[in-house]
Chain A
Amino acid sequence: MKREILDRLLAAKAAAIPAALVTDLSSGLQTLVYEDTVHGGFGLEPDLLDEVRRRIRQDRSGLLVDPQDEDGFRLFVHVHNPAMRLLIVGAVHIAQALAPLAALTGYDVTVIDPRGSFATEARFPGVKLNHLWPDEALAELKPDVRTAVVTLTHDPKLDDPALIAALRSAAFYVGALGSKRTHALRLDRLRDEGLSEAEVKRIRGPVGLSIGAVTPAEIAISIMGQITCVRRGENHPC
């Protein structure tokens, strides 16, 4: 890998800019493809370039074979997308276990809680903290298809606005802590707020895989397991 390509790739990753490194496996030449520009060692035909950008959007690395070329001209497309994000609403005990577990899984974690005594650096060392009210925080953080949102406060004043914002976003996972009874009451409130049946059904609640989790760490594992299942487990019940 040429120094210039390496530096540009590192810069794109550091700035959370989606990019694909395209390698010609025969020559070792490499080109970096961004959503709007291209930079590097060889040019790509417009249709191949479109395909590379499709791969970026699909987050799908893999070989690209040029159908025009019978000699087996092979390109490898390595998609480097920004990290998946997890937005945790409620700087509670379970969040203290979930935040590092999610970071270990490769997620960019933000803990949202307007209550200053909960969301502290001492309780969440090295974790991004957001002290806005949850609906304002979500408006700022804009959950997309690579974002999961989990509410943990047990307090409708905090959880409900977050859930409403999350359900109206493209977030791929929305989970809410609370017992079956708590969850049924929550769904009633959200329906009263005007959310559709399809919208409220998107909430994973009670949150997490059913593994008999008891302690905060175990509950964090069940939540992270469910997020992983929704993301990866195409044919698995989550």
Chain B
Amino acid sequence: MAEVTFLEALRQGLWEEMERDDRVFILGEDVGLYGGAFKVTDGFSKRFGESRVIDTPISEAAIVGAAAGAAHMGLRPVAEMQFIDFISCAYDMLTNYVATARYRAGLSTPMVVRGPCGGYVRGGPFHSQNPEAAFLHTPGLKIVYPATARDAKGLIKASIRDEDPVLYLEHKWLYRRIKEQLPEGEEILTPIGQARMARDGKHLSIISYGATLWKSLEAAEQLEKADGVSVEVLDLRTLLPMDDAAIVATVKKTNKVLIVHEDTRTGGIAGEIAARINEQAFEWLDGPIMRVTAHDVPLPYAPTLEDFVLPQTEDIVKAARWLAAY
């Protein structure tokens, strides 16, 4: 066992897949000799050469489009968005071209688009976004969003091996904050489409993912200690396809649900989860499905503003306490 950070686990996963399969290659901005803005691909160019770690112009649409073309031809591209905020520049290419390719034209497009997302790091409006809701509405894409180092590694490997295009979201607040003991020499693969029970509980369920998964766990500890409320926490890990069975199972177990995400509220993923619970487990609910999310504003820069806008542990505690007493 060795202690690795979230970022190192991701890096290991990429590295292992590059070693295992010479069809895998990386393209993106500053990913080569520089090793990526966050050093996820540090050392890759030296090991695998410039033809498998390709520095591109600042052209997100071309990066994703070229990855798609290469994927059609049997390669396994991993396209990096330097910050996931810039994926909006490739929105057309991903949603119209890539995601529809299998359905409309029978084209295989096994590719990964990955990049650092999320706030709590004073990144301001364009280095903090969580774009998952914009892509949840896109049949043909898969979206994974690991919260642990183990899943960072297991999901990047599974994404590269998947036959369909995968959007891999990696929260930069977790990059060096999360450390975990991972076994050496053991293959770690996290199946896409399966949620993970992050904490067992019986009075109330929190459904979350990414950075707010950790804040939800922190809130659960506090509620246990202060109120004696037993909180279950479900880590979705994959947002598309969503693990309905795991969601329904936790609802049936605790009968109360709080959904926590860092993305803004209106049109956020919590709405979709709530709708599914209504359709599939309405009669098991003992209270309204509640949400803790960011406020509906672009994410501001100043610490006072950012902290106010993003969901904090105390927000989750308050909401959960209210729901537990309902």
User: Is A bound to B?
Assistant: no
Interface residues of B, Cβ cutoff 8 Å to A: none
Interface residues of A, Cβ cutoff 8 Å to B: none
